[in-house]
Structure 1
């Protein structure tokens, strides 16, 4: 597909997911309660672990609370819409965030393997929010722009080494057949230990779920996220 056609295709996908208002309204400031504080602390942990820009915003909330500031509206209003939307189901979001914190702060996979897998999931799901956010995170993990371009192509790109190709192929096989094939598994097992192999499958499933709710809720991009155009 040439560049012009790809730009048009991405624009259509963005219009499909981002063209209308989100399907569920984000939590308003006057609906926020102290019961949600533990969830905010979880989100701080997960965003600090990947050096995400939301970490400072979340810390502002807890700092304001600790200082007893009477008017929290300005601070809370800065929270990303995704967080305020998922606060509509805080118990579920907290449990899912627990998994995310474990994968990102205690995970056995290298940051490179993790982000390559997440990006391939995001591209296969054509998830603008997830793709755009993790392109930025992947760059911090040392994944170059040229490699991001090749992740779009996937395991078929001839430039990958055997291990990187197997990471991408594992995502593709789980996405298409709900199972990693024996040949791919053998290549992965040559470098990954048993805990890492288990974690890889859970990681892929976790970010498939994230893509599902981000796309279906029509969550809007923010803070420089370029969606599927990001490289």
Structure 2
């Protein structure tokens, strides 16, 4: 049970200003039920969410790798758990998921280095940007940067308001934990 000043809003208290969003993505997850405390922000968030989550040039697997690394770097248990679950649905092995906490090889390592550069240096170096563009395409580089920013903002909200992991994801993590125990840790 959270003692947050902004816990996820339940259906009975859902803001009228965003009534039409309750049946979609906004009503489905605690992160957006928490954001519903600011209906105007949630409405503005929706189009960017559509692009970053659904229409990214990274594609679903690369997007999840970016998000896993960002969740690890932020130390966000909510994002980590939710994206472990989403990565599994996409067929990623637990070993590959866990590797995003370290420094994997190949393209996964390139993605991890890019996320790290954004956290550590607040930019991609020209050499790293060129390597990413050659491997993924330039639009995917933009989407990688946007994904890190998007999930960083979500992480700030989640951790500020101690948003609880959604019940189904928490149950999955309890029933099928990763081989490596413990919450994500920031570097």
Q: TM-score category by the smaller chain? A: 0.7 to 0.9
Q: In the alignment, what sits opposite 2:85?
A: 136
Find the aligned partners of 1:80 and 1:104 in 2 and give their Cα distance.
Answer: 14
| TM superposition shift of 1:99 | 0.9
Report the TM-score when normalising by structure 1: 0.67
Q: Map Cα deviations across residues 12-60 of structure 1 (whole Å, 9 max, x no partner).
A: xxxxxx8x5223244354433543223235517xxxxxxxxxxxxx5xx
Unaligned stretches of 5+ residues in structure 1 = 1-17, 45-57, 59-78
Q: In the alignment, what sits opposite 1:91?
A: 40
Q: Map Cα deviations across residues 189-208 of structure 1 (whole Å, 9 max, x no partner).
A: 11222221111111111011
Q: In the alignment, what sits opposite 1:200?
A: 144
Are 1:189 and 2:133 matched, yes or no?
A: yes
Relative distance call for 1:144 and 1:25 in structure 2 (3 A) is: closer
Deviating above 4 A after TM superposition, structure 1's stretches of 4 or more consecutive aligned residues are none
Q: In the alignment, what sits opposite 1:32?
A: 14
Structural RMSD (CA): 2.4
Report the TM-score when normalising by structure 2: 0.81
Relative distance call for 1:140 and 1:102 in structure 2 (3 A) is: same
- Higher RCO by CA contacts (8 Å cutoff, separation 6 or greater): 2
Unaligned stretches of 5+ residues in structure 2 = 179-187
Q: In structure 2, the residue corresponding to 1:27 is in which secondary structure? A: coil
